[in-house]
Structure 1
Amino acid sequence: MLLGRVVGQVVATVRSPGFDNVSLLLVQDTTEEGWVGPTCVAVDLIGAGEGDVVLVTTGSAARVAAGSDSPTDRAVVAIADSVIRNGTASSRTA
């Protein structure tokens, strides 16, 4: 799983049948330097919103989580309430 932050939404009115009832989010990955990783589109399975810190599955785990045979490469599966690193916690909006 990856840790990311929701930085936007993707609106697509014409979609593959497996994507009819899901939201598409723009998620920025985190790196050791902070929130400077690449941004990718992920299927939202839980109702995350802009600014939320989320857990993202990739590859076949994303397809299983999405419960479909659609070509899903990333899926948001959890919203993190806090992230604790080296004994220091950051909130969901940090």
Structure 2
Amino acid sequence: MQLAKVLGQVVSTVKEPGLARFTLLLVQDAGGADPEQTRGAAYVAVDLVGAGIGEIVLIATGSAARVAAGADAPTDRAVVGIVDTVTRSGRTTYRKD
């Protein structure tokens, strides 16, 4: 799993039927010591937990994402958790407001 920040929502009225029950989110990987700082290209992930814009989330990838979303949903990335806190080397680097 990896940490990412939700940047926005992706709306697709026409999509594969297995994705019909899911919201699609635009996310970007967290980078460095501060999870709110992002890096790399943004990508789309299936939202399984009801995450909102600006939240730090846990992303499952590959077969773990497909299992979490259900076998009928073709996905490579899924939001599987909303982060409350991140502690690194005994120091809290992120706390959800």
For the aligned residue pairs, the C-alpha RMSD in angstroms reads: 1.4
Q: TM-score, normalised by structure 1?
A: 0.90
SS at match of 2:5: strand
Runs of 4+ in 1 over 3 A off after TM superposition: none
C-alpha distance in 1 between matches for 2:42 and 2:68: 20
1:92 to 71, 92, 96: 96
2:52 to 12, 36, 49: 49
Unmatched runs of 5 consecutive residues or more in structure 1: none
Q: Which residue in the other structure is 1:82 paired with?
A: 85
Q: Which residue in the other structure is 2:23 paired with?
A: 23
For 1:26-37, what aligned pairs fall within 5 Å after superposition? Answer: 26-32=26-32, 34-37=37-40
For 1:32, the aligned partner's letter is: G
For 1:73, the aligned partner's letter is: D
25-34 or 50-59: which moved more?
25-34
